[in-house]
Amino acid sequence: ENQPVICAGCGVKIQTTDKRELGYTPPQALEKDVVICQRCFRLKHYNEVQDVSLNDDDFLRILTELGSKDALIVKVTDIFDFHGSWLPGLHRFVNNNPVLLVGNKSDVLPKSIKHSKIVQWMKHAAKENGLKPVDVHLMSAAKGDGVMETADLIEKYRKGRDVYIVGCTNVGKSTFINRLIKEFGGDEEFLITTSNVPGTTLDMIDIPLDDGSSLYDTPGIINHHQMAHLVDKEELKIITPRKEIKTKVYQLKEGQTLFFGGLSRLDFFKGDPQSFVVHMSNELNIHRTKTEKADELYKNHLGSLLTPPGEGSTENFPPLEKHEFKLPYEKTDIVFSGLGWVTVHGKGTIVRAYVPKGVQTGTRPSF
């Protein structure tokens, strides 16, 4: 077998088969004297990082490397998919390195929601998952809100050290880094180091900072239990809120059910008649029915009336699993990771949330 070709930029093994995976290079680029992967190519020529993803072993390797550094870790999460975009092992690997936790996509939150409440919840949720960030901040990488403040926080906490940006795919990590490059990078081409020894690199993109240290973009890991991976590209556009969310209000009584496409379901099991306020993508189709008819409806209409998933995605779609919640607060958000949440009143109200096996659901005090 041939010697593997190694990217002269980042040292990753070159492959020509999967565009989304690390090391991809178009076959014709192999003819060149110096071969670099597409990711390095785009950074070099367009000052732009590209979204690549890794398998779990590679990611574990990167996490392990992070632990051996003296650096600031910036962890980017999607506030609409906080648990889905969590990196479960991270806190065990970072050792004493500080972690700055950033919640992205703040632009889609309804204006009525106070950012301080979300920050408070993120702190709490991080702690519950074993991570104690030095700070928590919200931003919109796409719109730019909070990005400069995030950059200031990075400067404050890195204290001259390198910076590693981590996050799973789809949280907006590339959008964020590309914005940083635009703000701070000027027009010069980024130097791509060529001294990497194959197999020892972090597969990371190196963005030089002005004091000689670097900002590294780590490849995003695929969290298979994310809702985003259960639908196709077009469907993902439907479920991902892209504009400020307009809440939808449903007056419900016991025995009624809401379907969020065919992706999740919420049964109002016990409590006084009241409004259920849905915070999800404006494009997501919501269907109300009687709970007693819900199973039948799902069986017969998943992929048609209850969509997404569309007809092409239903076959491998995992079964919905039931989670019962007795609401602990006067005003509770029932969270469907990757979709959004529903605000329900009344302490003691009993609801049943159904999510695809593996996808996270839970409650929190309402924003």
Interacting residues with ligand GDP (CB under 6 A): 51, 104-105, 107-108, 140-142, 167, 169-175, 220, 242
To ligand GDP, the closest distance from the beta carbon of 175 in angstroms equals: 3
Spatial separation of the C-alpha atoms in residues 262 and 355, rounded to whole Å: 10
Indicate the residue among 175 and 264 with the shorter CB distance to ligand GDP. 175
Is residue 357 a contact partner of residue 330, using CB atoms and an 8 Å limit? no
Indicate the residue among 158 and 173 with the shorter CB distance to ligand GDP. 173
**Helix, strand, or coil (residue 365):** strand
To ligand GDP, the closest distance from the beta carbon of 295 in angstroms equals: 34
To ligand GDP, the closest distance from the beta carbon of 170 in angstroms equals: 5
Crossing angle between the packed helical segments 173-184 and 147-158, to the nearest 10 degrees: 80
Indicate the residue among 38 and 175 with the shorter CB distance to ligand GDP. 175
Indicate the residue among 108 and 359 with the shorter CB distance to ligand GDP. 108
Number of C-beta neighbours around residue 17 at 10 A: 8
Residue whose C-alpha is closest to residue 82's, from 216, 223, 215, 220: 223
Indicate the residue among 48 and 254 with the shorter CB distance to ligand GDP. 48
Indicate the residue among 228 and 320 with the shorter CB distance to ligand GDP. 228
Indicate the residue among 240 and 256 with the shorter CB distance to ligand GDP. 240
* CA distance readout (Å), 76 to 105, 116, 167, 221: 10, 17, 5, 12
**Helix, strand, or coil (residue 120):** helix
* CA distance readout (Å), 240 to 182, 205, 248, 317: 25, 27, 16, 18
In the block, residue with structure tokens 């991976």: 229
Spatial separation of the C-alpha atoms in residues 220 and 212, rounded to whole Å: 25
To ligand GDP, the closest distance from the beta carbon of 334 in angstroms equals: 22
Spatial separation of the C-alpha atoms in residues 235 and 317, rounded to whole Å: 13
**Helix, strand, or coil (residue 261):** coil
To ligand GDP, the closest distance from the beta carbon of 247 in angstroms equals: 16
Indicate the residue among 247 and 274 with the shorter CB distance to ligand GDP. 247
To ligand GDP, the closest distance from the beta carbon of 218 in angstroms equals: 11
To ligand GDP, the closest distance from the beta carbon of 20 in angstroms equals: 10
To ligand GDP, the closest distance from the beta carbon of 38 in angstroms equals: 15
Alpha helices in the chain, H assignment, sequence order = 38-46, 56-67, 90-93, 115-128, 147-158, 173-184, 233-239, 291-301
Query: Residue with CB nearest ligand GDP?
Result: 172
Q: Give me the torsion for CA of 169, 170, 171, 175, rounded to 10°.
A: 110
